[in-house]
């Protein structure tokens, strides 16, 4: 017996004259990823009110087009590169960067160092805006780059905003990918670092993503933006002292709070 489909997300307009149920169901799956970081086949079938075989066919087509990806071990589905690519293309026209940009410029002028705006995408950080230091010896912009979240201060600041359950979903294995000899390579070590980030209010990286580079980052408290955002200051390790780390961290905390006021 066919299940009765739930209402699903609210419609934004009048119903079409000739609705296509399969298209509607595929779109409902994509919208559901706005609420959950991962989905199981049974959850999708129950949500849509369809048989598991129908849910599987819908997910298979979305996977074929890159809108979802399936974890080989857990079999859960997560947003694919096509879906995140569309999101980031839209982000280029979204006013969050326009809102944050003056604060990046202010940090860049005051500190004379490279600054970034980053967002969390699964287990990686994507840098969506940046201003390079005017100094001859400086950290190069990482605009447009993606890096393992556990290897960057930006990533650790954003991971510290997650619940333990979400953290375990992102990192089900104990071993983590590293970029340098200083990178965090175990989940236990990452969890300890995240606790430290929560205590002091900012995250640090000491040559963990690139040799010779240190950085400090703070997550921006959630607002209207659909993304988890953090601001970062990256400095050549040779001119980053402990007192500099604390000073930059405190400055980023106050700046992030100011940005959050505008995004709420």
Residue 170 has a CB neighbour count (10 Å cut-off) of 18
Residue numbers of the domain that contains 68: 21-86
3-state secondary structure 1-50: CCCCCCCCCCCCCCCCCCCCHHHHHHHHHHHHCCCCCCECHHHHHHHHCC
DSSP annotation of 144: T
Question: What is the pLDDT at residue 94?
Answer: 59
Residue where a domain terminates, one of 36, 53, 86? 86
Count of domains forming the chain = 2
CA-nearest of 184, 253, 263, 189 to 219 is 253
Answer yes or no: do 210 and 176 share one domain: yes
Q: pLDDT digit string (tens) for 98-141?
A: 889 999 999 999 999 999 999 998 899 999 999 999 999 999 99
> Quick check: 4 pLDDT over 50?
no
Q: pLDDT digit string (tens) for 59-82?
A: 999 999 999 999 888 999 998 888
Q: How far apart are CA 83 and CA 33, in angstroms?
A: 10
Answer yes or no: do 66 and 197 share one domain: no
Yes or no: say if 247 and 235 are a contact pair by the CB < 8 Å rule.
no
CA-nearest of 29, 119, 125 to 83 is 29
Distance separating the N- and C-terminal Cα atoms of the chain? 46
Answer yes or no: do 71 and 110 share one domain: no
Take residue 35 and report the two structure tokens written for it: 């609420």
Q: How far apart are CA 159 and CA 214, in angstroms?
A: 18
Answer yes or no: do 70 and 201 share one domain: no
């Amino acid at each position: 017996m066919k299940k009765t489909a739930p209402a699903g997300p609210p419609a934004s307009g009048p119903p079409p004259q000739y609705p296509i149920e399969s298209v509607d169901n595929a779109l409902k799956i994509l919208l559901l990823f706005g609420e959950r970081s991962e989905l199981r086949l049974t959850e999708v079938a129950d949500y849509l009110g369809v048989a598991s075989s129908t849910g599987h066919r819908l997910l298979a087509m979305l996977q074929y087009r890159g809108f979802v990806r399936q974890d080989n071990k857990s079999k859960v589905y997560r947003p694919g590169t096509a879906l995140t690519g569309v999101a980031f293309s839209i982000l280029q026209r979204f006013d969050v960067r326009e809102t944050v940009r003056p604060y990046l410029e202010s940090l860049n002028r005051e500190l004379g160092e490279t600054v970034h705006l980053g967002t969390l995408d699964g287990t990686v950080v994507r840098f969506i805006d940046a201003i390079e230091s005017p100094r001859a010896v400086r950290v190069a912009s990482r605009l447009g780059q993606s890096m393992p979240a556990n290897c960057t201060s930006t990533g650790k600041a954003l991971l510290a905003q997650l619940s333990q359950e979400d953290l375990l979903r992102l990192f089900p294995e104990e071993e983590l990918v590293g970029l340098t000899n200083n990178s965090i390579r175990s989940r236990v070590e990452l969890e300890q670092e995240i606790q430290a980030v929560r205590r002091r209010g900012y995250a640090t990286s000491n040559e963990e993503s690139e040799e010779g580079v240190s950085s400090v980052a703070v997550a921006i408290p959630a607002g209207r933006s659909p993304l988890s955002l953090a601001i970062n200051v990256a400095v050549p390790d040779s001119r980053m002292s402990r007192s500099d780390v604390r000073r930059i961290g405190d400055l980023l905390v106050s700046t992030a709070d100011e940005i959050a006021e505008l995004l709420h």
